[in-house]
Structure 1
Amino acid sequence: MAYEIPVTQARAELAELINRVVYGGERVVVTRHGKPLVALVSAADLGKLEAGEEAAAQEQVIRSVSPLGSVASAPGEPRRFGIAAEHRGENDREG
């Protein structure tokens, strides 16, 4: 649970709040009129949050594309969208 503090009080206690976050491992939410305004988190926590956002974004892209790969071809056209060309060696050429 985060420690909440009004912005006016946070202004006066900024150095102490930084110490609570860095050394105490706390998260501090600064409020204005009782509503969350900003949060103070350690640089390590920020890195974890950003890494999680990046991983979530990548997962969303994968989920949006992966159903396309599982769609079956229409009957009678099993390889229409399969391999477009095959490599043939010099001995395999017709002609």
Structure 2
Amino acid sequence: MAYEIPVTQARAELADLINRVVYGGERVVVTRHGKPLVALVSAADLERLQELPDAADEQVVSSVSSVRSTSSSGAGRQQRFGIAAEHRGPNAT
């Protein structure tokens, strides 16, 4: 499950968020106006994602689209968000 945090709060807590990702194995989704903006993942996770064959890319996007995240307020409220993405290989124009 990913931890969701607004960009303004993420700026103030960047060092803590990095520690949570690297040492706690968490994934953090930074939002703006309630919409996902970026995700913080460990370098190891990124490396694994980059090594996936192209056929698995669509499955990864589908998995990310169904992530449920808890709000940073700690109230336990869960929100669902979708991500629309298209993967283009390194030689795509």
Alignment of 1:30-41 (within 5 A): 30-41=30-41
- Which TM-score applies when normalising by structure 1? 0.57
Residues of 2 paired with 1:37 and 1:56: CA distance? 23
The structure whose residues are more often helix, as a share, is 1
Residues of 1 paired with 2:33 and 2:39: CA distance? 15
Deviation sequence 1:12-34 (CA, Å, 0-9, x none): 00000000000000000000000
1:71 alignment partner in structure 2:
none
Structure 2 residues without counterparts, runs of 5 or longer: 56-93
Structure 1 residues without counterparts, runs of 5 or longer: 58-95
2:49 alignment partner in structure 1:
49
Deviation sequence 1:36-69 (CA, Å, 0-9, x none): 00000000000001111xx126xxxxxxxxxxxx
Residue identity opposite 1:20 in structure 2:
R
Higher CA-based Rg? 1
Residue correspondences, number: 56
Query: Which 4+ stretches in 1 moved above 3 angstroms?
Result: none
- Which TM-score applies when normalising by structure 2? 0.58
